[in-house]
Structure 1
Amino acid sequence: MNNPYAQYQMQNIATAPPEKLLIMLYDGAIKFLKQGLKALDDKKYDDFSYYISRTQDIISELMVTLDMDYEISKNLYQLYDYFMYRLIHGSVKKDRQSIEEVQKHLEELREAWVQAAAVKEKSIKDEG
């Protein structure tokens, strides 16, 4: 890998704390949904399917990494499962509303995790 930018990105991912990785996953899913919606608008259905599939991959990753010992993880799992259902529906029916619904929820969840990470970071600084 001779590309310095790619090397930097890989290093950034490898050294990121879990909350940062989680936010990066949300960012990726949101980005792919935006690209998918643009592809849908442009009637580029192969691209649309590709971006929705990439989003589903990320949501699958979010699902399998949940620690099911916590009640919130069970709730998140059900929510992610619903997102998968809506993405499948949106993909098959070329339904923009289904995709936008998932995007909106992911953006809200992302913001909640950003706030939680900030609180964690502040408490670590206060302890140090």
Structure 2
Amino acid sequence: MVKNPQQAYANNSVNTASPGELTLMLYSGCLKFIKLGQLAIEQNNIEQKNINIQKAQAILRELSVTLKTEQEVAKNMLALYDFLINRLMEANVKGSTEILDEVAVFVTEFRDVWKQVIQENRKLQQVGAGGTV
């Protein structure tokens, strides 16, 4: 018997996701933790602010280490991730929702572009498999 069906679904989603879908999940998770960090700042909850901003940083670090930096675009992404991690540290120290907003804009852009890439790849796979678009 499944004790927590939501957790079982989440685990199954992660276990069956493609690398592209996992990246999309990471971006979405980062945005979730940024928003929770903002909420904690507004509620003057220092502990939750710290926990959630650190989770957002951890996700960006994970995205950083998975980059294949032999390509110029990956080197640029690595620099952007480093910048955003530093901005998150600054937001955490200063308790700044404005800095969190700034970081969220970048992460939202990354997520939206990544979502488009996944959709385009699916279309190409359908065409390659004999389907029509």
Instruction: Report TM bin, short chain.
Output: over 0.9
Deviation of the 1:70 alpha carbon: 1.7
Q: Measure the CA separation in 2 of the matches of 1:94 and 1:9.
A: 31
For residues 74-97 of structure 1, the C-alpha deviation after alignment (integer angstroms, 9 at most, x for no partner) is 111000000011011111111221
Match of residue 15 from structure 2: 14
Distance 1:61 1:35 in 2: 19
Q: Does 1:52 align with 2:66?
A: no
Gaps of 5+ in 2: none
Gaps of 5+ in 1: none
Q: Residue in 2 aligned with 1:43? A: 44
- For these two proteins, the number of residue pairs brought into alignment is 128
User: Which residue does the alignment assign to 1:114?
Assistant: 115
Superposed CA RMSD in Å reads 1.1
SS at match of 1:69: coil
Match of 1:25? Answer: 26
Post-superposition, which runs of at least 4 consecutive aligned residues in structure 1 deviate over 4 A? none
Aligned to 2:69, the other structure's residue is in SS state coil
**Which has the greater radius of gyration?**
2
- TM-score, structure 1 normalization: 0.95
Using structure 2 for the length normalisation, give the TM-score. 0.92
Instruction: Report percent identity of matched pairs.
Output: 32
CA shift, 1:69, in A, is 2.0
